[in-house]
Structure 1
Amino acid sequence: MLKLLPLQWLARFQHGGTANQFFMALMVTIPVLNFGMLMGWQSPMTPILQAEDGPAPEPITDETISWMAAVTFFPPIFCGFLVGNLADRWGRKITTMLTSLMLVISWSITLFSLRPWALIASRAVAGLACAGCYVVTPLYLKEIAADKIRGALGSLFILSQNLGYLVVYVAGDLFSFAAVMWLCTAIPVLHMFTFLAMPETPVFLVKQGKFREARAALAWLRNTSVEDKDLEEEVQQMEREEEYAKSMKKASWKSIVRDKTTFKAFRIAVNVMLSQETCGYLVVLMYAGSIFEQAAESISLKLSPNKQTIVVGVIQLLGSIVASCIVEKTGRKWLLAVTSFATGLSMLALGGWFYITSYSIWLPGWLPVVAMCLCIFADAAGYQPVPYVITSELFSFQHRGMVTSFVSTIDALSDFLQTKAYDPLLKLLGIHWVFILFSMVCFLGTLYTILYVPETKDRTLEEIYAILDGRQKEKRKDLENGEEMTTL
């Protein structure tokens, strides 16, 4: 009996094409994994680049390191809309491959030269890949996923990014500088070639009038034949949605603003993403080394800087795995509310610890370490991935690309400003007030989620908009009477 359990589990995993969809999602998120490696690369490699006997022609200054961190988020401020337009015109597949190409170019510049101009230029090119990752990947994941695993696949976005952080942290601790560079470059190169065999999303193929290709792609994703009745119904639903979209005026910002319900969904998407991006998570990661260092003064916690970043990477990855496993059970709304509240509590604990100890009052050194770990875990377990899932589920195909592009632009601007303003803010307010202010952002995000964010799990777009309009009971009654509802 025990021998049959793995086979039964495998059969359930393959049923409905779950295995194929997860495989496809993993392929789609490889550029995100590599972008996570690119972002994490700076942590273990900065001491090497700044060493007198390091691989750089001259030691890299702190100012250059600061610009390397910030400039990555500068191109997406302006290129998010361009990437969204490319995804709608050329397709999700080609745009994903272009994202990998930008990553290849970025790593190649660093392989060619380690002078300050090259390091900053490399990060600027990586910013184009950043726009691709944050715009097209959530769209791709949404459009290949069956409703029952939509949240789990959407959560793979942040999981892949955090896995990239951990991979480069471990590689930086084990391998030479050159070996890490070649490893980071090889991943997007291999992805570009292997992704040629991957299908385009059925939604985009229907939009292009390629109905036969759409059926074939959907049949593979659902692990069934093209003659399957359920498959035919799903394709026909996509065709109806496309006909409905064509019958309406061309999607524009004016159409979003004029439609009361769509604009309400837009405000929700922007607010949950702003709360996520301004919660201070970046500051916690930047200050992790200092927290470990101060904790070591009162407890026996002696870790090298590389070991510290590996611990942070493991906590991030564990949180992301938890998010992928429970998002379909807990729902989006309450997972977001609970993790934002937990992040706020941990920020408040960190701020309180730094404030009290600044008056030479003793507090246990394990407290900030536990608070930091809770913050990193809660953020990865819901506060980071869930807003992307909610945003992709709040809009129809015709608005999804536009809104995702806009949100990615806001995210990039927020990250750029936080990265550059971190030191001035630290000197002006002190680290304790910085953490306390960020905790207030988290608590406000929790309150907003509870009051205004609808539950999108297992709901069609029309059901979600019925909730936003206050018409949920009316729509439920329609379903009970057997009337057909259109999924937009």
Structure 2
Amino acid sequence: MDTARKKATARQTIATLTANLVTFSYGVYSGWPATVQPALQSPATPLEGQLSDDSISWSNSLGYISAILGTLIWGVLAEKYGRKVTGYLTMAPFLISWVVLLLTKSEMSLLVARFLGGLGGSGAAINTPMFVGEVSDEHTNAALGSLFILMYNLGVLYVYVCGTCFGYTSLNSACLVVSVVFMVVWYTIPESPTCLVRKNKPVEARDSLKWFRGTDTDKEVEEELDSLTVRGDQVLPASMADFMEVGTVKAMIIGFIFQTGTQLCGINVILSYAVDIFDQSGSKLSPNVCTILVGLVQVCGSVIGCLIVTKGARKLFLISTYSAAAVSLYIMGGCFYATSFYKDVNTGLLPVACLSAHVIAFSLGLGMVPYIVYTEIFKPNVRNVCMSALMFWNNALGFGVLKAYPYMQDSLHISGCFWLFALACTVMAPVTYLFVPETRNKSFEYINNQLQLWFSGLETKAKSVTSLTVKNTKVVVVESKDKKVYMENNQICSNEP
């Protein structure tokens, strides 16, 4: 590896890690309820009064309401003010929320803080992958993209450990430190060159590109800068026709399917109620120790994911991890079912093993790969709006799942809840096989052609899938051994173009 390549990789990695401190804070925010719930519901609560189950469900789910609002503004802010300013704006709600928790002790202040944190969470999910996708090159894109879930999981582990070792006030102080560090370090990172090109700032864009590509000469980045400048989908705003293209429509359907799977796999319930879940699982191990072990395994899974995500097919990762998550959830549900009949049963390490398998599956595939796929299936000029729509759906569904979970426990028992999550993962495996095209090492043109086929499994039956333009209409050509079919955007097929 030459010096410029090493320097580029180092700088892109530093920028990615810095941007993902917001994601780290999102993980801290997500894991925080699990560590403080027992204390907040105990007679010795650090707040002014003991919290009920309903209050806990509101504190766990309220952030998703603000996250829904955030999906309406973060994409717009990122386009208008750039990725750097938006990065500061996404961290600000986290910083304010920790200050509120440190200064006030009422239930209302807790709900306000949780509401603010959710606003920052939606910004992290929209702005951070966008920034990373624009500053990384083809050599580092997949690996750096996978750091999103790693940093999120590190944030969860951080708060699990701090919550076990520290009291309520010290825990909130430790969370605040992360926000302060980001505000200082983020200042040193240049703006995305793609964003600067779209703002018609070629000089700043060239300087930014030189920094991210590890070179000091204009000549070495001129070709890439010209590519960013002349590529229409990079510099022109999207029209309604862009959103109505079959490729974009199917990419959106795939995104909605992925986000549904993310929420219905139960990961947020596990992260928010981890201590309580282990307390009900029949294991004689300390719930707090079990929670830290699962958080540690989750981080290890993320590290492995970062190392191998570029080595295997996206669909293989997704299908195998959905299947593994389903099996672990079925077994976990069985543990809860057994404890409901035999109060003295000792499930030992089985609950830890099951939830560890689940979070590893989430880290390796179903929680990480979709965000990599999004950068590969959406055109840049529609990506912001489409990502905002996907995050809107993700947050609406997340609110519903977390708010309903205590009531689902009452009606279905906790075993029924986990079997329901397992069923969702079971369904996701064949849906992924049928609808999601393979994107690893594929050009956007190839991926877009595959998106014209509603069932991507047909790809294996075709000798080639290409496209051509006939009378200003894009036509997809699917050729097998003995037949050639021409398909227009409206999915009408014929034997002639």
**Is the structural similarity TM-score above 0.5?**
yes
Structure 1 range deviating more: 178-187 or 462-471 = 462-471
Q: Which amino acid aligns with 1:119?
A: L
SS of residue matched to 1:171: helix
Are residues 441 and 62 of structure 1, via their aligned partners in 2, closer, same or farther at CA, if it must alter by over 3 Å? closer
**Rounded Cα–Cα distance in structure 2 between residues aligned with 1:81 and 1:242:** 25
CA contact (8 A) 1:168 1:180 kept: yes
RMSD of the TM alignment (CA)? 2.6
Are residues 388 and 244 of structure 1, via their aligned partners in 2, closer, same or farther at CA, if it must alter by over 3 Å? closer
1:114 maps to what in 2?
105
Q: Which residue of 128, 151, 158 corresponds with 1:160?
A: 151
Are residues 172 and 354 of structure 1, via their aligned partners in 2, closer, same or farther at CA, if it must alter by over 3 Å? closer
1:208 maps to what in 2?
199
Q: Which amino acid aligns with 1:267?
A: I
1:264 maps to what in 2?
250
Equivalent positions of 1:158-307 (< 5 A) are 158-229=149-220, 231-242=221-232, 246=236, 250-251=237-238, 254-285=240-271, 288-289=274-275, 292-293=278-279, 301-303=284-286, 305-307=287-289
Matched, 1:465 2:448: yes
Q: Which residue of 321, 332, 342 corresponds with 2:314?
A: 332
Q: CA deviation at 1:70?
A: 0.9
Name whichever structure is richer in strand by fraction. Answer: 2
SS of residue matched to 2:181: helix
**Rounded Cα–Cα distance in structure 2 between residues aligned with 1:369 and 1:195:** 37
2:49 maps to what in 1?
58
Q: Which residue of 259, 274, 292 corresponds with 1:310?
A: 292
CA contact (8 A) 1:261 1:468 kept: yes
SS of residue matched to 1:199: coil
Structure 1 range deviating more: 352-361 or 444-453 = 352-361
1:442 maps to what in 2?
425
Identity in percent: 31
CA contact (8 A) 1:295 1:369 kept: no
Q: CA deviation at 1:285?
A: 4.0
**Rounded Cα–Cα distance in structure 1 between residues aligned with 2:409 and 2:291:** 21
Are residues 120 and 19 of structure 1, via their aligned partners in 2, closer, same or farther at CA, if it must alter by over 3 Å? same
1:419 maps to what in 2?
402
- CA offsets per residue over residues 386-413 of structure 1, 9 Å max, x none? 1111122211221110011111111111
Q: Which runs of 5+ in 2 are unaligned?
A: 454-461, 469-497
**Rounded Cα–Cα distance in structure 1 between residues aligned with 2:179 and 2:126:** 18
Are residues 191 and 202 of structure 1, via their aligned partners in 2, closer, same or farther at CA, if it must alter by over 3 Å? same
Are residues 371 and 175 of structure 1, via their aligned partners in 2, closer, same or farther at CA, if it must alter by over 3 Å? closer
- CA offsets per residue over residues 369-427 of structure 1, 9 Å max, x none? 32222112111221111111112221122111001111111111111101111122122
Q: Which runs of 5+ in 1 are unaligned?
A: 1-7, 478-488
Q: TM-score, normalised by structure 1?
A: 0.87
1:350 maps to what in 2?
332
**Rounded Cα–Cα distance in structure 1 between residues aligned with 2:178 and 2:324:** 35
Q: Which residue of 125, 128, 137 corresponds with 2:116?
A: 125
**Rounded Cα–Cα distance in structure 2 between residues aligned with 1:65 and 1:294:** 17
Are residues 90 and 122 of structure 1, via their aligned partners in 2, closer, same or farther at CA, if it must alter by over 3 Å? same
**Rounded Cα–Cα distance in structure 2 between residues aligned with 1:55 and 1:356:** 35
2:130 maps to what in 1?
139
1:396 maps to what in 2?
379
Are residues 461 and 16 of structure 1, via their aligned partners in 2, closer, same or farther at CA, if it must alter by over 3 Å? farther
1:480 maps to what in 2?
none
Number of aligned pairs? 459
CA contact (8 A) 2:325 2:425 kept: yes
Q: Which amino acid aligns with 2:93?
A: M
Q: TM-score, normalised by structure 2?
A: 0.85
Are residues 113 and 87 of structure 1, via their aligned partners in 2, closer, same or farther at CA, if it must alter by over 3 Å? same
Matched, 1:407 2:425: no
**Rounded Cα–Cα distance in structure 1 between residues aligned with 2:194 and 2:48:** 50
